[in-house]
Amino acid sequence: MTLVETLLVFAAIPLAIYGVIALLTLREKFTKAPRYRPGQEWEHEPVWWTANPVGVGATQRTHDVAASSPAHTAQGGASGGW
């Protein structure tokens, strides 16, 4: 194997693979719309997110906290003893 063949196999081919992977990962960054930055004017409709879209607008249920919560028997805390 010559020096040129060795450099192609062990240097040029891996660098080409890394270059292709880098271009594939960066292509979305160049094609996306600019991001919102704090201080810029907001030009879009507000979007309200909820974890439970079915429950939006539903009334809240109330319950007796004292009756439903068990007695706490754990000891310790930030300065707990072991």
Three-class SS of 18-55? HHHHHHHHHHHHHHCCCCCCCCCCCCCCCCCCCCCHHH
CA distances from 18 to 24, 29, 30, 65 (A): 10, 18, 19, 59
Q: Model pTM?
A: 0.36
Give residue 74's pLDDT band: very low, low, confident or very high (50, 70, 90). low
Please report which confidence band the pLDDT of residue 19 belongs to, taking 50, 70 and 90 as the band edges.
very high
Q: How far apart are CA 42 and CA 68, in angstroms?
A: 45
Contact between 47 and 53 (Cβ < 8 Å) = no
In this prediction, residue 63 has a pLDDT band, given cuts at 50, 70 and 90, of low
In sign, the C-alpha dihedral spanning 17, 21, 24, 28 is negative
